[in-house]
């Protein structure tokens, strides 16, 4: 699915009405327990990544109006450790859409479950989802309609990330083809 989701596509599908950014934005919240810890006693990064993927998947499904699968995760950044007893909020929204794919931006915040201090940003990520039909084939998605200056900035930044993902993929494929032509298959 990754190859299809990262393949070039036109920016705006014809004939599908757009959806505003707020139409699919969501927040998933979860209290971290001892079951979520790593060997250092903080919350395992994989637990946070699953919450990120869950929230982003819900947003992608809502925006596309049906199933959507994770094609890639970019730039997962862990900014602060998360501890047992933290209430984690995972906020996600569609930043950009192509013909069949969507970039979802995610912010991860944490606060103590029993304190009234403001939440702190502890992570962020960008994920690409591909909308699929019942047979697992790519299907078209509605264009996202940025509503605020922040949404417009996120849309523009997502286009830059997409350009970089495609260029990176192209460069890797060219290198592999060159090595294969030289008989250096890995």
Total-model pTM: 0.86
Q: Tens digits of per-residue pLDDT, 94-143?
A: 999 999 999 999 999 999 999 889 999 999 999 999 999 999 999 999 99
Which are the contacts of 45, defined by CB distance < 8 A and separation ≥ 6?
A: 38, 78
Return the bridge partners of 93, or none. 105
Q: Tens digits of per-residue pLDDT, 35-55?
A: 999 999 999 999 999 999 999
């Amino acid at each position: 699915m990754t190859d299809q989701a990262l393949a070039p596509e036109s920016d705006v599908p014809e004939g599908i009405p757009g959806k505003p950014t707020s139409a699919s934005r969501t927040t998933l919240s979860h209290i971290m327990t001892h079951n979520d810890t790593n060997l250092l006693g903080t919350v395992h990064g994989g637990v946070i990544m699953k919450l990120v993927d869950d929230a982003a998947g819900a947003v992608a499904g809502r925006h596309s109006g049906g199933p959507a699968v994770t094609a890639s995760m970019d730039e997962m950044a862990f900014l602060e450790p998360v501890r047992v007893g933290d209430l984690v909020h995972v906020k996600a929204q569609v930043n950009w859409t192509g013909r069949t794919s969507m970039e979802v931006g995610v912010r991860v915040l944490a606060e103590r479950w029993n304190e009234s201090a403001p939440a702190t940003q502890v992570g962020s990520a960008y994920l690409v989802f591909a909308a699929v039909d019942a047979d697992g084939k790519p299907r078209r998605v509605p264009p996202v309609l940025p509503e605020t200056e922040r949404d417009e900035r996120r849309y523009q930044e997502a286009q830059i990330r997409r350009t970089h993902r495609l260029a990176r993929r192209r460069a890797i494929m060219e290198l592999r083809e060159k090595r294969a032509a030289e008989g250096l298959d890995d």
